[in-house]
Amino acid sequence: MHESGCSVSVDVGGLCTESFPFSSVPGQSRLFIDYQEHPLSLKKYYPFIVNSHTEVAARIPEVLAKHKTDRTLLCDALTQINTQIGAGAKTLENIDLLREQDTVAVVTGQQTGLFSGPLYSIYKALSAIKMSECLRDRGVKVVPVFWMATEDHDLEEVSNAFVIGGGNELTEVRVLSDEGETGRSVGLIKLDRSISAVVEELFASLPATEFTSCLRHELDVSWAEGKAFGDAFGTFLTSLLGKFGLIVVDPLDETLKQLSAPIYSEAVKHGSAIVPALTARSAELVSDGYHAQVLVDKDYFPLFWDTDDGRRVALRRTSDGRLQVKGEKTSFTETELADMALSEPGKFSPGVMLRPVVQDYLFPSVCYFGGGAEIAYFAQNSEVYRILDRPVTPILHRQSFTIIEAKHARTLEKYQLEFADLFAGEADILPKIFDKFIDSNTAKLFAEVEEKINTELNRLDQALSRMDPTLAANLATRRRKIIYHIGALRKKYQFRRTEKDETIDRRIRSAFTALLPNGQLQERALNVTSFLDRFGPSFIDMVYDSIDLDDKGHRIVYL
C-alpha cells in the first residue's frame, strides 16, 4: 500500500532480501535509532563506538594488553563445558586457538530460553560467527563466543516458546515452574518428566514434514528429563551452530567463577562509586532527550548473592554502609565482602550492569553483539567500565530478520502490501484491502456520499453564518456527528464483508500471525523450531548467508 523509499532489495545466494531502517519500526528507542544512524554523535556515552564493524580490529592491541585472565585455565574450563554439551572438532579447535596470546573473541549472549528462546538468540550467535569470519579473512586470530546467561533467576521469562502450527495458528508451549525453584539460577534448574509432554505438545502443533523426525530427535536429546536448563540450551545451540565452531560459555562453571574473582572483588570495593555514577549518567541521558535505561536505587549493588540452595538474591547497601542479603539478616562490611569475593567467588553473580564487564574481563573481547535494549543500557554501564578501569567494548547490533515464506509473500504481493504496512495492524489493513480489491464500488459510493453531505453542509453553513454565527457553530457539532455515523456504518459494512470473505480474512490473519506474531517483530516471538520443521537444517545456512554486517537495518528474507 506504500512504497518504502528506503528499502533495498538484493539477491543473496538465490534468496531475495530487503532492508529498511529501524526508524520505520514502531517502538524503537531514540537512543537506539541514533546509535544505528549517527553513532559517532554518541561518543560521550560509548567511548569506543565505531561507525562500522570494520573498525573494531583497530582495538586489538589494547584488548590484548588489558587481558590478564589465565588462558590455560579459561580454555580448560571451556573445553569441559563444550565437550559436555556435545561440541565437535571445530569448536575444540577454536578453544585451542584461544589459548594463544594473540587471539581475540567476538562475544554475544542471551538468556537460556526454552528450545533456544526467540529467534534473535540464533541471530545473535550467527552475527558473532559472521564477524569472526570477517576478521579471519583479514588475518586476525579470532573466535566466536556465546555467553549463556545461566545465572539469571527468572524462569518464567524463559520457560515458553511460540511456533506457527499446521493451521497457521500461533501456539505457545511452556515448561511449568515448580514453586521450589523460585529465585534459583535458571541454569541450575533440572528438567523434570513434564518436559516430554512439552515436546509432545510442540510436535502436535507443528506440521509433519520430511524434517520433523530429525528435529524431534534433536530436541529429545537436548531437552531431556534430568538435564539442567543451561545444559539443555547449550546442547541444542551446539547441535544447530556447532559446525561453525561457536564456543559456548556457562558462567556458573566453578573455574570461570574463580577466574572472575578479581573483577568481583574490584566491583565490591568500588560499589559505592558505581551507584552515583550510574545515577548521574541516567540524568545526563534524560537531559539529552533520551530515556534513562536501568533505574538504579540508592541502595543498589552490582552483584547478587548466591545462596547454598542456588537462589540468587540481591545485595543491598544499608544506611550504615553495610551490604545486606535482601530479605535476610546476613550483612557484611565492604572489606569482608571484597575478601569473600576472592575466596568464595561461587557465592556471587553479576547484575545486568556488571555482567558485560565480567565477560570482557574473562575474554579478550574485540566487540559484542547485542539487541536494541542492550545497546541502550551500554550507554549507562560504560560508567562501570570506567570506574573499574576496563576498556569499553564496542557493541554492535545483531543482524535483525523477518523471514517471509512464499505463501505470505504471495499474499503481500496480491494485495500490494509492503511488510512495513503491517505495522498499521489488521484492523487498519483489512478494510483497505476490501475497499480496494473486493468491493471498490461500495467504497466509492461511501466516499461520494460523504463528499455530497459535506458539500451540502458547507452551503448550509454559509447561509447560517450570515444569519446567526451561533447556528453555524451548532451545525459544526452536528456535522462531526453525521460524518462519525457515516464512518461507523462504513466500518460495520467492512466488518460484514470480512466475515463473508473467509479466504482473504484467513490469508491476512495468517500473514500477521507469521510476520508480526503477538504484534511484535517475528524474531522477538517465534522459536527457531518453526522454521527448522519447515526447512530443515538448511534454514540456519540460509540465515547465515543473508547476514550483511554493513547493513544496520531490519532485513527481510524471502524464502
Whole-angstrom distance, CA of residue 60 vs CA of residue 391 = 11
Q: Could you write out the DSSP letters of every residue in 164-233?
A: E-TTS-EEEEEPPPPGGGTTB-GGGPBP-THHHHHHHHHHHHSPP-TTHHHHHHHHHHHS-TT-BHHHHH
Q: What residue spans of 468-518 are helical by DSSP H?
A: 469-500, 502-515
- Residue 203's identity, in one-letter code, is F
Question: For residue 96, how far is the Cα from the chain centroid?
Answer: 30
338 close to 367: Cβ distance less than 8 angstroms:
no
pLDDT of residue 5: 32
**In the predicted model, is pLDDT for residue 308 greater than 90?**
no
What's the rounded Cα separation, in Å, for the pair 25 and 424?
11
The residue assigned the cell 587481558 is 67
Other C-beta atoms lying within 10 Å of the C-beta of residue 14: 7
The dihedral sign for the CA sequence 158, 164, 169, 173: negative
Using one digit for the tens of pLDDT, what is the confidence trace for 352-386? Answer: 999 999 999 999 999 999 999 999 989 999 999 99
Say if residue 446's pLDDT is above 70. Answer: no
Q: Examine the pLDDT at 10 and tell me if it is beyond 60.
A: no
Residue predicted with more confidence, 186 or 472? 186
Using one digit for the tens of pLDDT, what is the confidence trace for 206-230? 999 999 999 999 999 999 999 999 9
Inform me whether the pLDDT recorded for 3 exceeds 70.
Answer: no
Band (pLDDT 50/70/90 cuts) for residue 443 is low
Q: In which element (H, E) is residue 532 found?
A: helix 529-535
Q: Residue 169 above 90 pLDDT?
A: yes
Banded model confidence at residue 68, pLDDT cuts 50, 70, 90: very high
Percent of the chain, pLDDT > 70?
94
- pLDDT of 438 strictly over 80: no
Q: What span, in angstroms and rounded, lies between the C-alpha atoms of 516 and 494?
A: 23
pLDDT at 494: 66
**Would you place residue 444 in the very low, low, confident or very high pLDDT band (cuts 50, 70, 90)?**
low
Instruction: Provide the greatest CA pair distance for the chain.
Output: 95
Domain boundaries, the chain: 1-425+516-559, 426-515
Distant-in-sequence, close-in-space partners of 470: CB < 8 Å, separation ≥ 6 = none
Helix axes 271-287, 372-387, angle to 10 degrees: 130
Please tell me the distance from the alpha carbon of residue 421 to that of residue 443, in angstroms, as a whole number. Answer: 20
Instruction: Assign 526 a pLDDT band (cuts: 50, 70, 90).
Output: very high
8, pLDDT greater than 50? no
- Do 34 and 41 contact (CB within 8 A), yes or no? yes
Q: Does the pLDDT value for residue 6 go beyond 50?
A: no
Confidence class for position 4, pLDDT limits 50, 70, 90: very low
Distance CA 66, CA 267 (A): 17
The answer to whether the pTM exceeds 0.85 is: yes
Hey, which residues does 215 pair with through a beta bridge?
none
Length of the chain: 559
CA angle 225, 227, 232 (to 5 degrees): 110
Per-residue pLDDT at 448: 72
Say which residue, 28 or 447, is predicted with more confidence: 28
Average pLDDT (92-114) is 98
Mean pLDDT of 450-454: 82
Grid coordinates of 209? 514434514
Question: What is the share, in percent, of the chain residues with pLDDT greater than 90?
Answer: 78
Alpha-carbon torsion 272, 277, 278, 283, what sign?
positive
Q: How far is CA 380 from the centre of its chain?
A: 19
Res. 130 pLDDT band, cuts 50 70 90: very high
pLDDT band at 14 (very low <50, low <70, confident <90, very high): low
Integer Cα distance of 431 and 437 in angstroms = 10
Lowest mean pLDDT among 76-80, 98-102, 460-464: 460-464
- Of the candidates 189, 305, 234, 266, which has an alpha carbon nearest to the alpha carbon of residue 80? 234
